[in-house]
Amino acid sequence: MANDCITINLNSLKEKLLTESYVAQFAQQIKYLLRHIASPSLYDPATYGHYGVRVVGNKADLGRFANVMGHEKKYMDAYLKHGLGDPKVLQDRVALEKAIFRFEMETGLKWPLK
């Protein structure tokens, strides 16, 4: 199954130089994961050619990554339910930005979606 997964390897991302291709690849992987989280019923492996996402890294980095992804999901859900101008959506956006800041500071990786 590992060949059928998209693998986000946080350790190897740290070793690569911050190039445009690095950022683009990381952004595509995050977008793929967010699409899958946002609409799992619409997820079709035949469309994407993959059956899942595997995230690799040390425990602290994985925790920060999961935290940001949870905030991304919460913000998406609130935005879709209430619209952009709702105070709840704005609070979720601030919480997401804080989670991204912590991820970037603690992992040394740049979050590719802003």
Q: Are residues 39 and 49 in the same domain?
A: yes
Average pLDDT over residues 63-92: 94
Which domain, by its residues, includes 7? 1-57
On average, the pLDDT of the chain sits at 84
Instruction: Band the pLDDT of 65: cuts 50, 70, 90.
Output: very high
Asked whether residue 81 carries a pLDDT value surpassing 60, the answer given is yes
Structure letter (DSSP) for residue 51: S
Q: What is the pLDDT of residue 19?
A: 65
Q: Are residues 12 and 52 in the same domain?
A: yes
Q: What is the pLDDT of residue 25?
A: 85
Q: What is the pLDDT of residue 23?
A: 77
Contact 97, 74 (CB under 8 A): no
Calpha distance 45→109 (Å, rounded) = 29
Render pLDDT for 8-60 as a digit per residue (tens, 0 to 9). 889 888 877 566 677 788 888 898 888 877 776 555 556 555 567 889 999 99
Calpha distance 26→110 (Å, rounded) = 9
**Number of folded domains that form the chain:** 2
Least confident of 23-27, 60-64, 92-96, 107-111: 23-27
Average pLDDT over residues 88-94: 96
Q: Are residues 52 and 62 in the same domain?
A: no
The answer to whether position 88 is within a domain reads: yes
Q: Are residues 32 and 12 in the same domain?
A: yes
Q: Are residues 86 and 50 in the same domain?
A: no
Q: Are residues 53 and 79 in the same domain?
A: no
User: Taking the mean position of all CA atoms in its chain, how far away is CA 94?
Assistant: 16
Q: Are residues 1 and 53 in the same domain?
A: yes
Q: Are residues 50 and 100 in the same domain?
A: no
Q: Are residues 52 and 2 in the same domain?
A: yes
Q: Are residues 26 and 37 in the same domain?
A: yes
The answer to whether position 48 is within a domain reads: yes
